Structure 1
Amino acid sequence: MRRHDEVPPVTIAAVSVEDSKQRIAETTHELLLEAHEVPDPRHQELLDEVVILNAPVARSIASRYRSKGVDPDDLEQVAYLGLVKAANGYRPDASTAFLSYAVPTIRGELKRYFRDCAWTVRPPRRVQEMQGSIAAAEPELIQRLGHVPSAEETAEALGTDPAEIAEASSVRGCFSTLSLDAPGTVDGTISLLDTVADDEGGYDLVEDVHTLTPAVANLGDRDKRILELRFRNGLTQEEIGHELGVSQMQVSRLLRGILERLRAELVVRPGPTKG
């Protein structure tokens, strides 16, 4: 026998997902009906409740566009924006249920975001739009087929040509680029920046030598010797003076004269030869 102070066991009936969805749909419809009849600020308060109540739908749609190089928080914000637009644009007297109107609105907002804002390299608009359609259709196709759909399977589902699917799929990497600070090797010992080729100084040297050779060939032996001692051997003007038996002042004047002649030789371009 149970004592009078004992609490009787409570049985909680399981609530199915479909029942939960149905209750949300009914509550949403009631809120939209009331919002249609009242002015602001109550009108806007009711629409805000509709958005909060259906926010999981927006998040679910946004999750289908992940792994495309866009921050998940940004995707959710765009999806919420689409939901807000749907709540404001829906008319309760329409025969279409709210979600039947809201889901395409949210998807359209996400596709526009990818088309207009998320590209690092911007392909043609038709390719951008096809990329958005593929991203939206893939999760359902994977679930139905049990594997990643081929271009032919995706094309059949979207009613387009496989070549267009292949072209759009080839630009999947255009939504983001790797940071130069990202690891450049598997072990992460160097960054991606370390693997980028630098300008090769040797090419500049070859070009300089090729340009100077004809001009230097026109100099006398002593001038060539002064250039060799100064720029090849790295001697100071005083050391060159000792080497040639002249003063440092004379070396300075000689170097200045040599460099001026070379400069003049390099800027002069011979005119066309006459036949």
Structure 2
Amino acid sequence: MPARTAPEAPLRRDKPTDEADPTEASDEQPRRAGHEDRATPGDHERHEGPEEPGEPAAPPSTRESRGADARALTQVLFKKFATLEPGTPEHARVRAALIEANLPLVRYAAARFRSRNEPMEDVVQVGTIGLINAIDRFDPDRGVQFPTFAMPTVVGEIKRYFRDNVRTVHVPRRLHELWVQVNGATEDLTVLHGRSPTTAEIADRLKIAEDEVLACIEAGRSYHATSLEAAQEGDGLPGLLDRLGYEDPALAGVEHRDLVRHLLVQLPEREQRILLLRYYSNLTQSQISAELGVSQMHVSRLLSRSFARLRSANRIDA
């Protein structure tokens, strides 16, 4: 009978020293996520911001690593920033480092406004102003993460830019805020009814007057002005400038009437009256002489003298 051999032990492979155990990684991840100063959901994405155009998207682990590094660097810089005297070169250097480290936060906030048809470089520049204001006002002793503190300031600065500088026609702030509510109510009612809502339905939903809804709709059109010479889309009609108004035949006489009024006040009162009777009341020289009780010849001389004075004082003919 053949001798029984002992069963072969399973081959054991030693793990490389630089490879982490999957079980250890799964246990460590929840603890690490809950230990990082109680960061709010989406804090990594909010701080890291979108990738630059044309660059391949980084893996989620890489983005989280960058966000963690940026937050750690920001905390270190703020601790040093609080101990420096404003106006010193070291203070300015640390401040510039804080701005550069948190620029992804500005790019993320600016990406929310891509639909406004504004150059993204301008929006980022405005958001950077909000970032600088947040850095100058941030107090790390309050226990708040800097991205959480800075995001409202950055977004508020960008919204203020769109409200005050981008609109072709400036509208009051209350009307602008109400316009946002009207847009939201319009979308909700469109989904609810399957059609575009009426003005009365929007007003009833927001508990406001229909006139305010109409004013908000007009305010929403003030972002971009349309040229009067632009052709109408779709109907093939000429531009609005060619369809509105007409040439007033009396327009050319406006300047002359203003000039005559200026010259008449320089004549004596009796000569002014003679000219009014002759050219505004259409009286003949004989009728004027009977009206004033002077001879017709004298009326003719006064008219000639008035014409000579008017011609000498006429700046256009001169």
TM-score (norm: length of structure 1): 0.52
Aligned residue identity for 1:264 = Y
User: Hey, what does 1:150 align to over in structure 2?
Assistant: 188
1:32 aligns with 2:48: no
Aligned in 2, Cα 1:114/1:201: closer, same or farther, shift over 3 Å? same
Match for residue 50 of structure 1 among 71, 86, 98: 98
Q: Describe how 1:3-22 pairs up with structure 2 within 5 A.
A: 15-22=61-68
Distance 2:122 2:90 in 1: 29
How big is the shift at 1:190?
9.1
User: Hey, what does 2:296 align to over in structure 1?
Assistant: none
User: Hey, what does 1:199 align to over in structure 2?
Assistant: 246
Structure 2 residue matching 1:93: 3-state secondary structure: helix
How big is the shift at 1:260?
8.8
Q: CA offsets, 1:98-130, max 9 Å, x none?
A: 011110001111222233333333333212244
Q: Describe how 1:1-275 pairs up with structure 2 within 5 A.
A: 15-39=61-85, 40-68=88-116, 70-131=118-179, 149-150=187-188, 162=206, 168=216, 171-180=219-228, 183-186=230-233, 192=239, 195=242, 197-201=244-248, 263-265=279-281
Distance 1:104 1:94 in 2: 17
Runs of 4+ in 1 over 6 A off after TM superposition: 132-135, 259-262
- The answer (yes or no) to whether the contact 1:62–1:79 under 8 Å persists in 2 is yes
Distance 1:262 1:62 in 2: 73
Aligned residue identity for 2:69 = R
Aligned in 2, Cα 1:47/1:149: closer, same or farther, shift over 3 Å? farther
Structure 2 residue matching 1:150: 3-state secondary structure: helix
Larger radius of gyration: 2
Deviates more, 1:89-98 or 1:66-75: 66-75
Deviates more, 1:58-67 or 1:97-106: 58-67
TM-score (norm: length of structure 2): 0.46
Aligned in 2, Cα 1:176/1:102: closer, same or farther, shift over 3 Å? same
- The answer (yes or no) to whether the contact 1:32–1:92 under 8 Å persists in 2 is yes
How big is the shift at 1:80?
0.9
User: Hey, what does 1:246 align to over in structure 2?
Assistant: none
- The answer (yes or no) to whether the contact 1:119–1:174 under 8 Å persists in 2 is yes
How big is the shift at 1:17?
2.1
Distance 1:151 1:134 in 2: 10
How big is the shift at 1:196?
5.0
Distance 1:178 1:88 in 2: 41
Structure 2 residue matching 1:37: 3-state secondary structure: coil
Distance 2:164 2:99 in 1: 25
Give the percent of matched residue pairs that are identical in Structure 1 and Structure 2. 25
Higher relative contact order (CA 8 A, sep 6+): 1
Aligned residue identity for 1:61 = A
How big is the shift at 1:152?
9.4
- The answer (yes or no) to whether the contact 1:114–1:128 under 8 Å persists in 2 is no
Aligned length: 183
Distance 1:52 1:31 in 2: 11
How big is the shift at 1:51?
1.4
Q: Which runs of 5+ in 1 are unaligned?
A: 1-10, 139-147, 154-160, 206-258, 268-275
User: Hey, what does 2:54 align to over in structure 1?
Assistant: none
Aligned residue identity for 1:197 = L
Aligned in 2, Cα 1:200/1:77: closer, same or farther, shift over 3 Å? same
- The answer (yes or no) to whether the contact 1:184–1:194 under 8 Å persists in 2 is no
Distance 1:134 1:82 in 2: 28
Distance 2:233 2:117 in 1: 21
- The answer (yes or no) to whether the contact 1:66–1:72 under 8 Å persists in 2 is yes
Distance 2:182 2:154 in 1: 16
Distance 1:113 1:58 in 2: 14
- The answer (yes or no) to whether the contact 1:79–1:106 under 8 Å persists in 2 is yes
How big is the shift at 1:186?
4.7
Aligned in 2, Cα 1:93/1:113: closer, same or farther, shift over 3 Å? same
